[in-house]
Chain A
Amino acid sequence: MAELFSQDLATGVGRSLKHDSADKHVAGEAVYIDDRLEFPNQLHVYARTADRAHARILRIDTTPCYQIAGVRIVITHEDIPGLKDIGPVVAGDPLLAIDKVEFFGQPVLAVAACDLDTARRAAMAAIIEYEDLEPVLDVVEALRKKHFVLDSHTHQRGDAAAALATAPHRIQGTLHIGGQEHFYLETQISSVMPGEDGGMIVYCSTQNPTEVQKLVAEVLNVPMHKVVVDMRRMGGGFGGKETQAASPACLCAVIAHLTGQPTKMRLPRVEDMAMTGKRHPFYVEYDVGFDDSGRLHGVNLDLAGNCGYSPDLSGSIVDRAMFHSDNAYYLGDATVHGHRCKTNTASNTAYRGFGGPQGMVAIEQVMDHIARYLALDPLAVRKANYYGKTERNITHYYQTVEHNMLEEMTAELEASSDYHERRESIRRFNANSPVLKKGLALTPVKFGISFTATFLNQAGALIHIYTDGSIHLNHGGTEMGQGLNTKVAQVVAQVFQVDIKRIQITATNTDKVPNTSPTAASSGADLNGKAAQNAAEILKKRLTEFAARHFNVTEEDVEWRNGHVRARDQIASFEYLVQQAYFAQVSLSTTGFYRTPKIFYDRSQARGRPFYYYAFGAACVEVIVDTLTGEYKMLRADILHDVGDSLNPAIDIGQVEGGFVQGMGWLTTEELVWNAKGKLMTNGPASYKIPAVADMPIDMRVKLVENRKNPEDTVFHSKAVGEPPFMLGIAAWCAIKDAVASIADYRVQPNIDAPSTPERVLWGCEQMRKAVATAQLIEPETETVPQ
């Protein structure tokens, strides 16, 4: 035992343990909701959705549905016993359409039957008559008409108008930024089991079990204590299951309530893509003033988010776009307006970065535009605008940027990626290559960590130690693949100094840890890791007090290491200590709690410290572009990312690489296209193209910043990692624009909206060729390219 005591714990924090479910994933043994055993009287639900973008419902006739054998029940909004609206923050999302439909794909009625195919056929048999209303499908039209789901909001520091008027140079521009389908591999699914006293057990693939619990209780008109939500794992979430997992859960609950039968609803891929919201597309207008070095004097930004038909989380999402419209840069005198445009499309929702990426793309476009205007290397312009350490370090929302690592990280990445040599060799390549052109870009990321709705920054955990020394761990976070459960278990293993095998990771469950926040805003490990650490430390303190009594030493004499406890010259195993504590009537179970310190934000003044800290990163991407077709291939990506003192480097690198590729996909091949009637045409993986294996850069070099603890008192001084790396993908988009700009000697900004599909890239090339032909090498002419 003495020898074991002298060894370090191999499974605590900082170790690259594999995902706790890895062996089950690879064996096909990890159970997702659709894999659960079904009951003999299982019902399957299919929703009939609107086939138009905006219409009044004149008549619904469900009698034809019942002609089909196997149909159990058909429900419309009239059958909902409680609240009919499941809007997460404010009302606006009817569970089933009430009198009107507001997007193509909105659920109007739901059929439960013995199997999904029967439910589908019955749903399609219903008769629904509409009177069409004029839809608004275009975000610019909505902006001009002030057709908003929520009021606009402004961040302001200084006098932007005056700064623009006096700046040595001034440019304006517009940009469309596309949305993004989450494309979690597991589509939305819920399975509900009715219980005693009007209760419900809800198995739901959700990032937000507490909200599902609340909404199910509301639609059933029962108290929350009647509803238990259980969530073991999601097959991907990315924000798409923060609010929009609730609709299938609530439909199942209503049907289970009305029929008394177990009820499941799994959305087929096409229905999932049509019914659920996506990352917000944005339309951006910018007006910026700067000096000869490219340094900003003033900025006027209008960020118009396309929210779809209802508010959902758009209030906070557009706020976060505004918060991140500085990215890493001191904007000078700045006015940033955020607009929440209403269109007749599915309600756009949380997606990794939560608006932040769109704000950052806007300012990165400005950086590139300035560089082309001044004929400077875009990296030089970026560095000229970086926040300072002691001055020029206050954001446009008045938070001081502390512990800023970007200057040194950029220097390290410039060196390790050979940025300047490659810049020169690319210029030489391009001069001699008439068809293929290479591009290079190095872009930074500064991302604020905390929910901007301050109250959400809280978490709970529950730990039981059993008499054999095994540990049951539960917390309020949800596992969607990001390795949260592994990290939290490592934290608990570290505190108790026990092997992680002792710790049983269990499904997130609202009757174990109540009133949880969604697993979102990258906060999962920060919040739940701290709460679990708190619980573990409470129990460790109890056990230490007991050990001191038991071994007749002081508490300071009790040391914990690698599965053992030493009290001066006596060493006992963890399970021995636990058994003795049990016999001594010591409680071996407790909850833990955490709330984030220091943060505050006054939205009415648009001032405060909404973020506990910032996470930093930088990426350098090289691309090759075919100027005859617009096709491209990523050649190399060098990434340096800051995760503080990593809880698990392997998992963190997985987040960095996966985030980068997902961000790259958003800005390159992932294009959402609606037709003139508001129907989503890219409604499956045949038409909507997320990155495939050959799209990742040929040469990918990813590194975490080493030996840099988070200066704030986070869980073992780590940093959040879920969202920040997503925005490393912006470098890929900027590199494509760099390659295209080479056609006109880097003097004209190519107007390439995101995503930069081969088609948009080819129009960018045409714009460059036209500029060369007409020798208009300073200002790009505004032209309309076919979209």
Chain B
Amino acid sequence: MIQFLVNQALHSEHALDPNMTVLQYLREHLGKPGTKEGCASGDCGACTVVVGELVADESGTDSIRYRSLNSCLTFVSSLHGKQLISVEGLKHQGELHSVQQAMADCHGSQCGFCTPGFVMSLFALQKNSQGPDLHKAQEALAGNLCRCTGYRPILDAAAQSCARPCRDQFDAQQAQTIARLKAIAPQQTGELNSGDKRCLVPLTVADLAELYSSHPEARLLAGGTDLALEVMQFHRTLPVMIYVGHVAELKRIDKTTTHLEIGAATPLTDCYGALNDEYPDFGELLHRFASLQIRNQGTLGGNIGNASPIGDSPPLLIALDAQIVLRQGQRQRTLALEDYFIDYRITARQDSEFIEKIIVPRASNDWTFRAYKVSKRLDDDISAVCAAFNLSLEDGVVSGVRIAFGGMAAIPKRARACEAALRGKPWNQASVERACQALAEDFSPLSDFRASREYRLLTAQNLLRKYFIELQSPHIETRVTDYV
């Protein structure tokens, strides 16, 4: 059985189809059609809902953290112990919520179909806001597409919502909601079972390891932002899933003097602070990594585990010489991330083995790290090319170099010929040009609808040139993304 709140009402479910998404649950099961399906692929945001989760601060005080997510990519099992808020839950005693009022006042809706999703993104923004902030508003709304307005009135509504946050029914009922969430907090492995399909929800790594060993055929469900596409877009059935989002040990970030140890099920949103502190370019890339809804769900381990050639974090992590800890039953092993990827969607992971954590070296003064993402659209797009450069110099000579690319091969891959052309060479234009030529030995990229092979190769070379300019001539402007 799993239990959760829908708005304020307690729902206990045990026989639901585990392949059912929250969107289907709302629209078809509960008859709440306010939440819309625009794409069923997590790209348009029309289905955005907010999920409240109990969190305790350092002093142990409980509060509820509200986050937006795409209900089309969220399986119902991941609601276990949480509060689901849909657009129907905002209006209170016949009055619009302040974010709804702001959208109406600012003429933020035209056809209205995307509007419930925007309203929910604005609601989450308001709940996490310290006042109007254009940058934060753009971040909150980057995963919501509107075809009518051109967004200006919606940004106005965001500003209004954050300038005048009213005490709403969620604030008024907070103590009560916390008590109810505590009462349904999972105490043992949960399960959703519809006969031929099941989803297991363990709470500890040990339980997860044991369950996965006894169900090697299971699919691990973390954020689900990729896995749910198999159901929603490719119409497959997932008979056995194990949801890892309730395993607290997998969601921790530990900072040692030399490394960050990031639990594999840590949502990308929660990875941001630690990675951005060490590597501002990693933070900038995470800002452009899909959308906030996706980052609230999608995990760092998932971005590695699905082994996509166009995942954005692996090239950066490879350039940073990250390691991963794999676990199978009681057995753990540590592997350099670059050795994890073998061929297209083929990895070094064995049956019943899962990624437990990612170990990232902390920033050092000797190395200079930069990362670049090139895509058709600046926000919420998949990279045509993603590049990460990490270099150390001694007396003007390249003493250490790690360069990795996404979108250039069947796997996220180091550019070894390029590195070799630089290693031990003076860090100057001539070396960089030779290294650019060497990139053609490293990669023969594909042409697809995102970019041609010629564009990918030239852009990869130009990104190395850009890296050189940024290091040698920091006064030269090189990034359009600095204009915000």
Contact = CB atoms under 8 A, between A and B. Distances in A.
B110 A686 contact: no
A21 B148 CA distance: 15
A599 B115 CA distance: 39
Interface string B241-260: 00000000000000000000
Interface string A584-628: 000000000000000000000000000000000000000011101
Interface in B127-152: 137-138, 141-152
B483 A624 contact: yes
B169 interface: no
A238 to B, nearest CB: 7
Contacts of A696: 150-152
A758 B34 contact: no
B442 to A, nearest CB: 19
A661 interface: yes
Given A628-B466, A693-B379, A661 B34 contact: no
B261 interface: no
Contact of A270 (B113, B233, B466, B478): B233
Contacts of B372: 629
Interface in A646-699: 650-651, 653-654, 657-662, 669, 671, 673, 681-682, 684-687, 689-696, 698
A120 interface: yes
B476 A433 contact: yes
Contacts of B463: 628-629
Contact of B114 (A185, A657, A766): A185
Nearest to A628: B462
B111 A236 contact: yes
A120 B43 contact: no
A759 interface: yes
B116 interface: yes
Contacts of A235: 36, 111-114
Interface residues of A, number: 91
A690 to B, nearest CB: 6
A186 interface: yes
A658 B233 contact: no
B96 interface: yes
Nearest to B464: A628
A717 interface: no
A26 B452 CA distance: 42
A482 to B, nearest CB: 7
A526 B86 CA distance: 39
B152 A657 contact: yes
A435 B110 contact: no
A696 B151 CA distance: 7
- Pick the most buried of B86, B111, B119, B454: most chain A CB atoms within 10 A of its CB: B111
Nearest to B109: A25
A394 to B, nearest CB: 35
B105 A18 contact: yes
Contact of B148 (A481, A625, A757): A481
B235 A481 contact: no
Contacts of A24: 112
B149 A658 contact: yes
A684 B44 CA distance: 10
A654 B157 CA distance: 14
Nearest to B134: A698
Given A186-B111, A628-B466, A787-B452, A693 B44 contact: no
Nearest to B31: A37
Nearest to A479: B111
B104 A481 contact: no
Given A34-B33, A693-B155, A28 B465 contact: no
Interface residues of B, number: 89
B378 A35 contact: no
Contacts of A60: none
Interface stretch (A243-251, A288-296, A373-381, A630-638): A630-638
A25 B152 contact: no
Nearest to A34: B33
B148 A236 contact: yes
A40 interface: no
B257 to A, nearest CB: 37
A233 interface: yes
- Pick the most buried of A182, A481, A651, A695: most chain B CB atoms within 10 A of its CB: A481
A660 B381 CA distance: 21
Interface string A168-212: 000000000000001111110000000000000000000000000
A762 B110 contact: no
A182 B113 CA distance: 14
A32 interface: yes
Interface in A113-132: 117, 120-121
Contacts of B451: 759
Given A26-B109, A433-B476, A185 B44 contact: yes
Contact of B480 (A21, A436, A483): A436
B111 A185 contact: yes
B215 interface: no
A165 interface: no
A31 B113 CA distance: 10
A495 B211 CA distance: 73
A689 B100 CA distance: 27
Contact of A669 (B377, B449, B453): B377
Contacts of B46: 185
Interface in B444-469: 447-455, 458-459, 462-463, 465-466, 469
Contacts of B39: 269, 684-685
A650 B87 contact: no
B374 A654 contact: no
B150 A435 contact: no
Contacts of A763: 455
Interface in A220-271: 233-238, 268-270
A633 B458 CA distance: 21
A689 B382 CA distance: 10
B484 A694 contact: yes
B24 to A, nearest CB: 10
A483 B380 contact: no
Nearest to A269: B39
A26 B115 contact: yes
A658 B483 contact: no
A269 B43 CA distance: 11
A721 to B, nearest CB: 12
A176 B113 CA distance: 33
Contacts of A632: 480
Nearest to A625: B480
Contacts of B86: 28
A762 B138 contact: no
A384 B261 CA distance: 65
Nearest to B154: A693
Given A25-B112, A658-B149, A694 B466 contact: no
Contacts of A695: 377-379
B35 interface: yes
B455 A26 contact: no
A30 interface: yes
Contacts of B447: 786
A420 to B, nearest CB: 22
A685 B480 contact: no
Given A435-B466, A435-B469, A626-B480, A21 B112 contact: yes
A427 interface: no
Contact of B477 (A34, A183, A435, A630): A435
A35 B483 contact: no
- What are the 8 A-B residue pairs with the smallest beta carbon separation, nearest first? A28-B34, A481-B111, A235-B113, A25-B112, A661-B150, A28-B87, A481-B110, A685-B43
22 contacts: A19-B107, A25-B112, A26-B96, A26-B103, A26-B104, A28-B88, A28-B116, A184-B147, A185-B114, A186-B113, A268-B40, A435-B477, A436-B477, A629-B463, A653-B107, A691-B150, A693-B379, A695-B377, A758-B376, A759-B451, A759-B452, A759-B455
Given A269-B41, A654-B107, A686-B43, 11 more contacts: A26-B96, A30-B115, A481-B110, A631-B378, A633-B483, A654-B110, A684-B41, A685-B145, A687-B450, A694-B484, A696-B150
